[in-house]
Amino acid sequence: MARFPSRALLVVVAFVLGACRDPAAAVSDRAPMGASSSSSPSSRYRVEHDAAPNVILVSMDALRYDRTGLGPRPTTLTPNLDALARESVVFHETESAAPWTVPSHMSMWTARYPSRHGMVNKLRTDPVTLATTDASLDPAIETFPDRLRARGYDAAAFTGGAGVSARFGFGRGFETYLDDRRFAGMDYSRPKATAWLRARASSGGKRPFFLFFHGYDVHGQHPLVGLDRARLAPSYRGALDGSIEENAKLREGGLAQIHKAGDRASLEGTLTRDDGLFLRAVYDAKVAAADRELGAFVRELRDLGLLERSIVAVVSDHGDEFMEHGHVDHGHTLFEEQLHVVMMVRFPSGAVHDDVRAPVQTVDLFPTLFDALSLSGPADVDGKSLVPLLEGRAASSPTFSESDYRLFVHHRAVREGASKLVLDMGRGEVSLFDLASDPGETHDLAASQPAVRARLEGLLDGYLRRTGVRRDQFLGVRESPITIF
């Protein structure tokens, strides 16, 4: 194990791949994590520094990739994120492991798919008493923050609570874990995070640290301060007001349309296209506000002399729907508006910029960071380092996603290149899309492209075996949903 002098180098991570093989073999035939560091020591994707790197993970909860300046139709909403991207390796085709906060973040924390880390919902029901209790990560599952703590890192988190609350297992081993407000934004967590950094700097703290910085600024349950309907959408004549109370009512109303296995959450006939555009306008205003908070945080790092001695990565955990497929919010489908997220990594001094267009997945985030830092990670993970991909020594692999959102739905998806297959486990039916020609996923090709369908179904079957889920496990099964949000 390498020894480092006391001076610390900062690694900042903010959330934003899959050769085609059976995912059941994805771990067993892989070299141990960090083994790929045997490549040239001059690799631009590896941190070679005589100081122990600090690690900062920044998560912009619910941020859609296509509502940033990174997307195919760039917006002007995220100038600070875009500026950071110009100094970073940007993974433009990142798929989240799950379309909502708890399983998605835990998949990053553990580099395991949700069915393998077990945190598929916030609550668990006792099969005998039917009583519900808070779910929590199995203590036997080691996380990447656990491994950092074992390496002597201090650990602190400043979050928006709710789905990343410490009680779910995220706070294990942390000296400080802020989660005292539900759905708080970075306007709440950032001042506390920067105060912690400044206090640490003034006290001469020498130990390396892991910092998790998170906020729900663009989430439907985070209010938009100063919401002015007339300014946001001057031509809108509908009845919506964009409030968090309205968001909850609409979300639950759509879910209530699920009466039997395989039904879809839907607000069709209740909301119009104009309603969806209005809600997206509210969302966009939140995105702009979140970007300002990110910019303030990056400036603070620069002022403290930390940024230029850092690896900086940026990620989101899921997106949001605005009637693209008949509903709003997230969790209930595996369409791209909910899965396509932001992920970028800024290497020291911003000297490396690459635009990676190959599909990648969020479970690969921590393995990539650990490989870049020549650290060994936990065993028996699903994610893998993307450094070999960046160095041109490996091909892209299939990506996998899943949702058992509050037991209303059971969906699984696989993506290979531009081809994407989604399995509705309640109906036992698959849908096939070509994201290159149909990015909105409106034309099902399952019947017209049987060869592509068969190939992707084979990959998905391997994923199901790997995660211990039978393909018919939820077929025709209507479970009692979790009604507590």
Cα–Cα dist 200/356, whole Å = 35
User: What average pLDDT does range 268-283 have in this prediction?
Assistant: 97
Q: For 198-231, write each residue's pLDDT tens digit.
A: 999 889 878 888 999 999 999 999 999 999 999 9
- Which residues face 271 on adjacent strands? 268
Q: How far is CA 217 from CA 43, 77, 225, in A?
A: 36, 14, 10
484 in a structural domain: no
Q: Do the strands 8-14 and 399-403 form a parallel or antiparallel pair, or are they unpaired? A: unpaired
**1: pLDDT strictly greater than 60:** no
| Domain range for 198 | 8-395
Question: Residue 148's domain is classified under what CATH number?
Answer: 3.40.720.10
**33: pLDDT strictly greater than 70:** no
Amino acid at 189: S
- Name the one residue in this structure whose structure tokens are 């990594």: 345
pLDDT at 49: 64
161 in a structural domain: yes
430 in a structural domain: no
Count of domains observed in the chain: 1
Neighbouring C-alpha atoms within 13 Å toward the C-beta of 208: 27
Q: What percent of the chain has pLDDT over 70?
A: 91
Which of the four pLDDT bands, split at 50, 70 and 90, describes residue 306? confident
281 in a structural domain: yes
Q: How far is CA 77 from CA 58, 300, 468, in A?
A: 18, 21, 41
134 in a structural domain: yes
Q: For 100-113, write each residue's pLDDT tens digit.
A: 999 999 999 999 99
437 in a structural domain: no
pLDDT at 309: 76
Higher pLDDT among residues 36 and 180, named by residue: 180
Cα–Cα dist 27/29, whole Å = 6
Cα–Cα dist 443/476, whole Å = 25
User: What average pLDDT does range 367-395 have in this prediction?
Assistant: 94
Q: For 218-272, write each residue's pLDDT tens digit.
A: 999 999 999 999 999 999 999 999 999 999 999 999 999 999 999 999 999 999 9
Cα–Cα dist 257/475, whole Å = 18
CA torsion sign, 266 to 362 to 313 to 192? positive
User: What average pLDDT does range 116-136 have in this prediction?
Assistant: 88
Cα–Cα dist 255/331, whole Å = 10
User: What average pLDDT does range 452-476 have in this prediction?
Assistant: 97
171 in a structural domain: yes
Q: For 417-427, write each residue's pLDDT tens digit.
A: 999 999 999 99
Radius of gyration over alpha carbons of the chain, in Å? 21
**28: pLDDT strictly greater than 90:** no
| Strand intervals (E) in 342-469 | 343-346, 354-361, 399-403, 411-416, 419-424, 429-434
320 in a structural domain: yes
